[in-house]
Structure 1
Amino acid sequence: MPVILAKYMGDYVGQEVTLQGWVRLKRKHGKIRFVELRDGSAFVQCVFIKGETSDQAMEDFKKLTQESSIEVTGVVQQNPRDGSYELLVKEMKIYQISEPFPITPKEHGIDFLMDHRHLWLRSKRQWAILRVRAEIIKACRDFFDERDFVLVDSPILTPNAAEGSTTLFKTDYFGETAYLTQSGQLYSEAAIAAFKKVYCFGPTFRAEKSKTRRHLMEFWMVEPEMAFATLEDVMNLAEEFVEYIVARVLDKRMEELKILERDISKLEKIKRPFIRMTYTEAVEQLHKLGSDIVWGDDFGGDDETILTKQYDKPILVHRFPASFKAFYFELDKENPELALGVDVLAPEGYGEIVGGGERSADIKHLLEKIREEGIPEENYKWYLDLRRYGSVPHGGFGLGIERTVAWICGLHHVRETIPWPRMLNRLYP
């Protein structure tokens, strides 16, 4: 008897199969009994009918509780009312009768749910979110692999900061100080001289004491980097990438989006070209919309929300004041006060999901910026070497997985976008 995943039941109509999973709920309707089974791949109705189902299985049905683990064998049939597939149960094996499940049936506050994250993952909503996340991650890898980018893993433990040293997690490294990485970008800049186009993909860490709905202490980023690339190349790649991810989710995860009650029509509008504007143009528009942002200040979450609610496509904001950008950005030759950076802001108020730009290829400029900012020059000796041996224009960006999942799924907070969120006051479970 084949043991199959529930999502493949359509291939076995009229045949006898075995499913293994957990009881989501059970109910009775007259003399017929029903179990909604979840097996990780789908949710399926299992039907118990006296005369068709064994007497033992009918008796064991009475014992079942939510989250009991079972194995059911029966015939796959199609429900004529809605076209869904269900299992007419012949036999049932019980692995364990679950204790009373703490998550349901009543409503719970977010702290309770986060304390029980290990159980909350089993809910239909969380199942759907994390399957969308898995599809987004697969889409990221497929996109770059299909375009001849080489995956070059960057280290998680680093001797120095990629950006501001005030948001680093420190740890002891056999008597030396090491930091959890904020970004793999600097290492990818080294790798492009070997492979031309690379990407890294992994966890990154920011010790930023923020409690906003967009921040986590540990999050995942995919970071492409390209040799012989300008800001324009970076923006074009970012547009193509975001469009690709959304299209993939719409193609492969429509059922999950329905469970999340996501407005699909908004995602269907994510087609190139996106909206582009300079930082200066964005500030001018924000002033018209009532923001009190001052030219020279970085965008806050409220500014991004105000701006993105004006459009139904992502916005690429580029050419920021160099004063608040990292030392490694190339400067705009037409206005050296501006850095050739770009942020991609997702619509519907979700804000920044991509940050990047063109990197400085000039060792003199980098040395000036390092000395200006008081950064220990010896920590970046290897990074400066990249400008001594075959330096070329180059650039790239980082896309935050959790913010992208939140946007595509239509979630209010990023805490639901990762299996085990690490937030300012949460390290458990």
Structure 2
Amino acid sequence: MGKTTIQDVSKHLGEEVTIGAWIHNKRSSGKIAFLQLRDGTGFIQGVISKNDIGEEKFDQAKGLTQETSLFVTGTIVEDTRSPLGFEMQISDFTIIHEAEDYPITPKEHGTEFLMDHRHLWLRSKKQHAIMKVRNEIIRATYEFFNEQGYVKIDPPILTGSSAEGTTELFHTKYFDEDAYLSQSGQLYMEAAAMAFNKVFSFGPTFRAEKSKTRRHLIEFWMIEPEMAFMDHDDSLEVQEQYVSHIAKSVLQNCKVELEALDRDLTSLQKIEAPFPRITYDDAVKLLHEKGFEDIEWGEDFGAPHETAIAESFDKPVFITHYPLDIKAFYMKPDPERPDVALCADLIAPEGYGEIIGGSQRIDDLELMEQRYKEHDLTGDAYQWYLQLRQYGSVPHSGFGLGLERTVAWIAGVEHVRETIPFPRLLNRLYP
């Protein structure tokens, strides 16, 4: 008899094993007790028979409280009714710690209460499933970029400037200098691409944006690839292949979790490259046809606009060639039409909005110097970035994928606050 985990019980069919677990829930009926067990790797039902375990132990089992920890010993058997496909016939158990008055009971709780108890809420079946989907997306991300020959480079979190020239930054003092929490690692990844050709980063970013929408977090995680010798169209191909890869990986490796989330799989099964593409010009026309007559050329799209555009497609859709004036200073103008940028946002289906923003970067020194002047970037903080165009400049492109929005879309979760272990919101820094 050996120890195992719930996720590995399929390897021990017909064997007696011991699992360290917590009581998720329980019920009893006559001489049978059913324990819903969790061990962090998954959930399994344990069945206790009074005839097998004895009256004293059976009474103890009926008195077990929610989140009590214990070692459970029993035989693994098949159970076709279970999402896991197995259950445990318990022959013995040993209590490690008895929990009293666990605050999150099976009844309904308000969102603020659950957020105040986020450290405990993570134990629930739905939250556990969301985090497992998040983990699979991260695993599949490393798999995709490693197989494609990318080098992972870690940009700094403390920076002396803004990546996009915005003011929505967290300011701090860096000894006797001003510093900011990074809102993107992109500029540094461009430098890395000039050294390693194809690179990607994965790390936290911060936006001091006073937004309360279901799509926004103050602290979130970004995957940011940058590629030398790649143009805009090359980048779009990488993006759609990457998103297709992570969607397929979740479908393949998170079946139990997607079932726990009641996720409709039909929409996810359609996520396969290539993705449809629509220009900003055509998107404005489409919005006018859908009744959004107030949107004018040159304005950025909001959440309702993105949702309306996505409704016309059953896959993620690229919106390309936005007006240059509403995009970041580093985006390359289209040589055939200088008023729009060689850029794209990838809009997820089902109302989840933008999950990727990307572009071809300006590689011409003279044009970048001009953009510096237009955006008042004349200080020392950006001089190193200008030098990337001065010493061996090449065409290059990149993009950033927001992890939490992607998790929300693939998991079918309404609010991004549930897609990160400990969310940082406008009015929340606890726990």
Same fold (TM over 0.5): yes
Whether contact under 8 Å (1:161, 1:182) holds in the other structure is yes
Partner in structure 1 of residue 320 of structure 2: 318
Whether contact under 8 Å (1:370, 1:377) holds in the other structure is no
Q: CA deviation at 1:62?
A: 3.4
Partner in structure 1 of residue 58 of structure 2: 58
Partner in structure 2 of residue 39 of structure 1: 39
Larger CA deviation: 28-37 vs 99-108: 99-108
Structure 2: state its 5+ residue gaps: none
Once the two structures are superposed, the pairs formed by residues 257-406 of structure 1 within 5 Å of their partners are 257-291=258-292, 292-406=294-408
Return the letter of the residue paired with 2:386. L
Partner in structure 2 of residue 79 of structure 1: 79
Structure 2: distance between partners of 1:81 and 1:331: 57
User: What's the secondary structure of 1:270's corresponding residue?
Assistant: coil
Partner in structure 2 of residue 151 of structure 1: 152
Larger CA deviation: 368-377 vs 107-116: 368-377
Q: 1:41 to 1:216 in 2, by over 3 A?
A: same
Structure 2: distance between partners of 1:50 and 1:423: 49
User: What's the secondary structure of 1:320's corresponding residue?
Assistant: coil
Whether contact under 8 Å (1:63, 1:97) holds in the other structure is no
Identity %: 52
User: Paired residue for 1:422, among 414, 421, 424?
Assistant: 424
Return the letter of the residue paired with 1:339. A
Q: Deviations over 1:228-263 (max 9, x none)?
A: 011001111111111111111101011111111111
Whether contact under 8 Å (1:371, 1:377) holds in the other structure is no
Whether contact under 8 Å (1:315, 1:345) holds in the other structure is yes
Whether contact under 8 Å (1:200, 1:222) holds in the other structure is yes
Q: CA deviation at 1:102?
A: 1.3
Q: Deviations over 1:348-380 (max 9, x none)?
A: 111100001100001111111111111233211
Structure 2: distance between partners of 1:30 and 1:55: 12
User: In the alignment, is residue 211 of structure 1 matched against residue 212 of structure 2?
Assistant: yes
Q: CA deviation at 1:302?
A: 1.0
Q: Deviations over 1:143-186 (max 9, x none)?
A: 10000000011111111110133111011111211111011110
Structure 1: distance between partners of 2:179 and 2:28: 60
Larger CA deviation: 8-17 vs 118-127: 8-17
Structure 1: distance between partners of 2:57 and 2:128: 28
Q: CA deviation at 1:55?
A: 5.1
Return the letter of the residue paired with 2:290. L
User: What's the secondary structure of 2:210's corresponding residue?
Assistant: coil
Structure 1: distance between partners of 2:206 and 2:386: 24
Structure 1: distance between partners of 2:50 and 2:414: 46
Structure 2: distance between partners of 1:257 and 1:193: 40
User: What's the secondary structure of 1:7's corresponding residue?
Assistant: helix
Once the two structures are superposed, the pairs formed by residues 162-173 of structure 1 within 5 Å of their partners are 162-173=163-174
Q: 1:53 to 1:182 in 2, by over 3 A?
A: same
Q: CA deviation at 1:271?
A: 1.5
Structure 2: distance between partners of 1:6 and 1:106: 25
Structure 2: distance between partners of 1:273 and 1:165: 33
Structure 1: distance between partners of 2:264 and 2:290: 26
Structure 1: state its 5+ residue gaps: none
Structure 1: distance between partners of 2:68 and 2:377: 58
Q: 1:223 to 1:80 in 2, by over 3 A?
A: closer
Structure 2: distance between partners of 1:3 and 1:217: 41
Structure 2: distance between partners of 1:45 and 1:412: 29
Larger CA deviation: 208-217 vs 369-378: 369-378
Once the two structures are superposed, the pairs formed by residues 212-227 of structure 1 within 5 Å of their partners are 212-227=213-228
Structure 2: distance between partners of 1:317 and 1:44: 44
Structure 2: distance between partners of 1:91 and 1:20: 12
Structure 1: distance between partners of 2:393 and 2:56: 75
Whether contact under 8 Å (1:278, 1:318) holds in the other structure is yes
Larger CA deviation: 176-185 vs 53-62: 53-62
Partner in structure 2 of residue 138 of structure 1: 139
Q: CA deviation at 1:59?
A: 3.5
Partner in structure 2 of residue 95 of structure 1: 96
Q: CA deviation at 1:29?
A: 1.6
Return the letter of the residue paired with 1:15. E
Whether contact under 8 Å (1:54, 1:90) holds in the other structure is no
Structure 2: distance between partners of 1:78 and 1:411: 31
* TM-score (structure 2 length as normaliser): 0.97
Structure 2: distance between partners of 1:304 and 1:293: 12
Return the letter of the residue paired with 2:409. W
> Which aligned runs of 4 or more in structure 1 are off by greater than 6 angstroms?
none
